Amino acid sequence: MQKNHTAYTQEQISAWFRGLMSIALADNEYSEQERILFDQISHSEEWGEEVTISNFEPISAQDLADALGSDRKVGENFLRMAVMMALADGKYTDTEDCIIQEFCKALNQEIKPINDLRQKLESSSHHEEHHPNLLEPVKEWLDHMDIHDSRLANLICKVVPAQCPFERDVVLFGRKIMHIPAMCEINPLYDQLVGLRFRSLSYLADKGEDVSKYC
């Protein structure tokens, strides 16, 4: 089924990267993880140009929409990756969500699982304990991301860590959802990231690329 898809253009890939990094650097507080990630992406051959944090210019929502084009699937896949980028450090902030919602509006799309989750959290007490199943709709939505472009697959393999991250709190919209111990198998979102990374590795291997650098 992947053979029926058209690979992304360089303009789409560049806009995709700029959009993701605009989200990662939205709060102007660069963690070590974000700096490493930015360095990996900005110096990768998929990017097509060398950019530093100091001279990086975020992409506007309209420029992103113009570059990605009218293919709805392209926009949906970008938004899925955008949410994964925002959750890379275990926190999905209002600042990041604001940018993602601007992208949604320009792309004429909605991330219903995220919007529904926000409404549930806003209507609950700050001290209310939330069940992990609250994230099930988000997990299901992330699982539908298609992999049909080598540059995108390479990006995912660089963004998603090969090893289990350290324990942390998962915080969405300023509310602690859960604490993730170092045992990644009990992280409900980690399975989605690992699955996406595996599909990307499989896609690249099927294309004849050497994936040992990601193992």
DSSP 99-155: HHHHHHHHHT---HHHHHHHHHHHTS-TTPPPPGGGGHHHHHHHTT-----HHHHHH
Q: What is the pLDDT of residues 141-159, one digit of tens each?
A: 999 988 988 888 987 887 7
Record the pTM. Answer: 0.78
How is residue 171 written in tokens? 């915080």
Average pLDDT over residues 62-89: 89
Q: What SS3 class is residue 186?
A: helix
Q: Which amino acid is at 32?
A: E
